[in-house]
Structure 1
């Protein structure tokens, strides 16, 4: 943006920059306070969830993770099959079933298994636990089980990670049941061992459940396992619930499977490690992937998570949002648990399995419930009825080959919020456009939503929407209020400024239509009117002994001229002694400003003719008036000093209008108009082309005209005189001065009172006596 509009914006910034900064700062602080107190969380969650679905969904199936679903067909199929129900029971199934699943997944080439459930209760038949543990050791398939923490569990001692994970039972175990299932129930699953599983010391359990984790910076501490006690009115620690002892040392690791939902119950993010104040514990997906990557500990450093040689960006507090990529059924291959069990049966009988050979090969298998009957239905941004294992699958998939979604540092979020508020304030308080005010206020949240979505898609960054939107809209409302206040002040100022220079009804019309002038200036095309009394110095000498009479006469004259101009919608610019300056087309926009100026000039001329008759009768000097009218683009606004200023116009167009008024003397005309005025008003006026002139300081010649009457009102006698004048003017431009003189002399004899005819005749006679050098038919219009 260049030119005067840019200067106007700069001036408004200089005048109101402090207010703009103040509005932006206050709006930012209010939005920040609302965000910190949680008032915006609901709005932010809605915006984030929609952006996540719109910009990150539909990614397709993962190549890293397969879900084995405990679905409704599984529950129904096992409950209705007598043999399966006899061996595995109804939900929750015996550990024997999981042993069979592990065997099948191992045979199918699974990379590791994440069991999204806990095994913290011993089976009524302890042999099932021992049998399951034995299968885990024999298959050597990495198998990871969930654990929970609560406030009633006893704390474990500090884990010594230099000591190996303990074995819960001897390596030897009762024989495998493969040869007897499914027709006969396994003996060890029926009668149980002769001796119970030996108990483990607490130090050994601590070593089995805990996992090394630390921060390597001075950032926030690891999150605590804790809960709020209404009884004690404080946060109390939670500790892990111990798993079935038989599984300790048989499974490859335990991890926390807390829901980690937000306050509205929706799972959006996760943390990776927790502490109960004594030991550190990894979440189940982290525990699994740590082993796959050969990591011995979880390290958080600044905004980075480290597992072995791998690093992921996370938030400063060690959390991250999950990149679900879509609903569970669109992101991961789903295989019914019953299908896997049937494949085990087929494989044990030497028959071909039904699942494709690459279903599980090299992939992490997540086992969990997907039916409401399992009571593990949670909400995610993609669905309000999503299985809880969706979070575990998303974390595993991201740790293997993806990125988490993180927020910007809080300082940057505040900075962006301030910039949005400042942009809103500056834009609305400088441009002051009603369409912009409405469009910006309504479009700002939508724009921020789109930008946030693009950030999610391209950089996995959660750009806050609610806080910047609130700040921006708050700043916008404040800016609108400021603009309204300024507009009211400007309206009153305009009313006071222009009511003496324009007809009051036009001033009110200008205010009602909101066509308020830009008092700080603007470029616009207007028509300027200049008038002056011939020989005013001689006029005023008649009253040097009675100056009060001069003032009364001059006031009468100025009132007469002004009233004629005001009736045509003119704005009186100034009086300079006897001279009158009037603007048409400013401050109120007038598409027909040239026509109005011409009508005003003719009306002023007619009114002055009546006044001249009255003055002659009273013995007053003559007030013969010359008028110049010109249309051009001028700079219009308030000009002056701190002590005195007025609304006026400046520019070459104003200068030419003044020159035209003075040039009437050389041409014997009363009203002279410029070429642009003629171009705009020619369909409404009658004119005489006077000459082509060159203004002092300019090289280009312009055609000037004498304004004679409104269209169709020119008397026949004057029309004939104009035609003879044009005939002579054409001869004059051809330097045929003698021929021109002949035409003009004949017309002067017929109409001796026509000033332009006489003046052109004088010039032609002069050129006959003294021929001009390099004559081009253009007269020089001197200052």
Structure 2
């Protein structure tokens, strides 16, 4: 236990992982609003990946669409038409009619006033007879559309749910009269919860949506039914409607939305509400629990995009053209969808979505109890995922090669995403993606940075330890020519050699200092022997890196060929060494090599007290860059075009690409050395053939053709690193093409 504690508090990967886990746990508990919005956007993506879901048979939408406007005239219609629609729906056996329409003012199409004025004039003229008075009465009755609608609703066997809305902002109302507020509140009394339990602490809860006053239906219509519900919707900050407020408080009364009231009428149930100190604890329709958050909001489980529910044109209902079986026993939601008169909403499925269909989704969710849900254990699961998944990545990445660490991290991340999507699609279960995902990414980045810094630190240590050693060839040349001890150098053509061990940090962390030195000595001895055997000069060792050159101090006309042969032999010798190391239970070593041929300054450089026989110049810098370019292509021996032209007769190599390395103004053609002539395996030969064709198509900007050739190369040799890189690059360029003046060279972003 003490040892574990020491590892956790000791600066290193374990402590770094603990800090990251604690930071993201604190962010999760704090419920930062901008991060919660990002999480909601992941829910939107989950909806889209899930796709549409079948809806229940209970809900039908009666829509005021373009066809209705064409047949019945432009909106606003006389309410007599709405009355006819309700009567025809009732005659067809509809169970409930819920109106996403408000009748907030007297019908502007009423003809009562002209009739009353005519009656007054006739009466003043003394010409009003009983028969004429009766006729005026019939005309007034026929012209009172509000009365016609009210009488139709009152007489209807089908339950009618009236719609209204709440004013939520005092600024939009100006000066208020309490009498008017009381009157409006009274007109929506049919929209209240029937059973309310509010604890003493619950009365102090301020998180409920609270309205200033309702915009109610006119009294004549409002008092005709026992059911009414508000159609307010509250989008999130990004404008997307994800939640339905299932309760709004106004003047100490609690009101239910149109969708919930439609369900109440359909099931003939009472609505109950419970509020405790933390907020809303229960919303029920009869015995059916509706899962809401503490502010009384339901996260809508959208069934799909627009027109997921059956649509029937209102004009077809008014003109009685709809078969009874399409309406019998249904909940009919009535609202507008015609362009110009309906409210467009943004939902997870669409940026253009009728508000009427949002109510339909809520009704369907409640009827089938098909909700998005987060059980009590979900929070514990989220926090455990943050800690456990970060710990796995924090353990593997520092101890693994970069590629393997990245693969493990990506695999864990992908597994978690797939699991969350599966549970969402199959169970409606909501697990948090953002916080565990962010914790995993942060841990991977931190561990990779730590690994890089540690590797550089270790290399500096080894460089200092080995810098006092001189190459034997330099000693031999000094014995022949003592004048070379003087400071200075000469320009001559050489082949510069740079090598580095892959994943050296993870190796060094697994070994004791003694074991590491022993391993490194054995490796450097084996490799140096090959270099010296091909007449090369070992310039220096920088940790696990070997810096050497061919062509100095001894004249060597075929220095490029010697250098390439040395590379092939070194890789063969290293393969034999790996077998020996494996048998001894020691880690495997893999080496990357970069070489370039050209002019460089070679000689003794330093100070009078300390000098070193070394090389300098652009040729040297380019060779160093090429060693690092191997990482991009997954290769182990990379040479420049100048080296290839001097050594092509003694090696088997393939052209890889044009590369723009850091510090060079012109691109360099690079080649991969694969062995000596006749040593390349058939699978590699076939891959080389497809790769060459793919490279030609790539340079001709024929992305699909190039992708096909690189795919064929990978089919021949699935482990071919250059084909993997070019396949990925072509896919990226197909989506985001390079600039028009692109020189066909890949630009390195780092050394």
Q: TM-score range by the shorter chain?
A: 0.5 to 0.7
Change (3 A) 1:111 1:517: closer
Q: Matched residues in 2 for 1:18 and 1:394: separation?
A: 48
Residue of structure 2 equivalent to 1:395:
362
Change (3 A) 1:155 1:52: farther
Please give the secondary structure, in 1, of the residue aligned with 2:352: strand
Please give the secondary structure, in 1, of the residue aligned with 2:323: coil
- RMSD between aligned residues: 4.5
Aligned pair partner of 2:46 in 51, 66, 74: 51
Q: Matched residues in 2 for 1:395 and 1:123: separation?
A: 30
- Map 1:658-677 onto structure 2 (within 5 A): none
Change (3 A) 1:276 1:223: farther
1:445-480 deviations in Å (ceiling 9; x for gaps): 655543332232122233333333333222222222
Q: Matched residues in 2 for 1:137 and 1:632: separation?
A: 90
Residue of structure 2 equivalent to 1:634:
584
- Map 1:228-307 onto structure 2 (within 5 A): 237-300=211-274, 304-307=282-285
Q: Matched residues in 1 for 2:400 and 2:361: separation?
A: 49
Q: Is 1:208 aligned with 2:190?
A: yes
Q: Is 1:132 aligned with 2:149?
A: yes
Residue of structure 2 equivalent to 1:481:
449
1:311-353 deviations in Å (ceiling 9; x for gaps): 2333343222111211231x2111111111121xxxxxxxxxx
Q: Is 1:74 aligned with 2:68?
A: yes
Q: Matched residues in 1 for 2:54 and 2:472: separation?
A: 71
Change (3 A) 1:562 1:396: closer
- Map 1:39-438 onto structure 2 (within 5 A): 41=37, 43-55=38-50, 57-79=51-73, 90-124=74-108, 125=110, 127-150=144-167, 151=170, 152=173, 204-205=186-187, 207-212=189-194, 214=196, 221=205, 223-226=207-210, 237-300=211-274, 304-329=282-307, 331-343=308-320, 354-407=321-374, 411-412=379-380, 415-416=383-384, 418-419=386-387, 422-423=390-391, 425-438=393-406
TM-score (norm 2): 0.55
Q: Matched residues in 1 for 2:524 and 2:232: separation?
A: 87
Please give the secondary structure, in 2, of the residue aligned with 1:372: coil
Residue of structure 1 equivalent to 2:732:
none
Q: Matched residues in 2 for 1:466 and 1:289: separation?
A: 35
Change (3 A) 1:155 1:493: farther
Residue of structure 2 equivalent to 1:169:
none
Q: Matched residues in 2 for 1:504 and 1:520: separation?
A: 32
Residue of structure 1 equivalent to 2:529:
568
Change (3 A) 1:156 1:434: farther
Conserved? CA contact 2:104–2:216, under 8 Å = yes
Q: Matched residues in 2 for 1:65 and 1:407: separation?
A: 26
User: Greater shift after overlay, 287-296 or 96-105?
Assistant: 287-296
Q: Matched residues in 2 for 1:593 and 1:446: separation?
A: 36
User: Greater shift after overlay, 561-570 or 413-422?
Assistant: 561-570
* Offset at residue 142 of structure 1 (A): 0.6
1:660-690 deviations in Å (ceiling 9; x for gaps): xxxxxxxxxxxxxxxxxxxxxxxxxxxxxxx
Q: Is 1:518 aligned with 2:507?
A: yes
Please give the secondary structure, in 2, of the residue aligned with 1:463: coil
Higher-Rg structure is 1
Conserved? CA contact 1:32–1:467, under 8 Å = no
Count of residue pairs brought into register by the alignment: 475
Change (3 A) 1:477 1:115: same
Conserved? CA contact 1:31–1:470, under 8 Å = no
Change (3 A) 1:503 1:373: same
1:38-77 deviations in Å (ceiling 9; x for gaps): 2562x4344322210221x322343110001110111111
Change (3 A) 1:206 1:391: closer
* Offset at residue 372 of structure 1 (A): 1.8
* Offset at residue 440 of structure 1 (A): 5.9
1:91-139 deviations in Å (ceiling 9; x for gaps): 1112211111111111111110110121111224372212211111222
Task: Give 5+ residue unaligned stretches, structure 2.
Answer: 1-5, 113-143, 474-496, 532-543, 547-569, 588-751
Conserved? CA contact 1:421–1:473, under 8 Å = no
Residue of structure 1 equivalent to 2:567:
none
Q: Matched residues in 1 for 2:89 and 2:472: separation?
A: 92
Change (3 A) 1:64 1:587: same
1:575-626 deviations in Å (ceiling 9; x for gaps): xxxxxxxxxxx999975369789xxxxxxxxxxxxxxxxxxxxxxxxxxxxx
Q: Matched residues in 2 for 1:65 and 1:108: separation?
A: 15
Change (3 A) 1:249 1:29: same
Task: Give 5+ residue unaligned stretches, structure 1.
Answer: 1-9, 80-89, 160-199, 227-236, 344-353, 530-558, 571-585, 598-629, 638-783
Please give the secondary structure, in 2, of the residue aligned with 1:365: strand
* Offset at residue 362 of structure 1 (A): 1.2
TM-score (norm 1): 0.53
Conserved? CA contact 1:62–1:333, under 8 Å = no
Change (3 A) 1:305 1:569: farther
Aligned pair partner of 1:18 in 8, 15, 35: 15
Q: Matched residues in 2 for 1:562 and 1:62: separation?
A: 71
Conserved? CA contact 2:400–2:503, under 8 Å = no
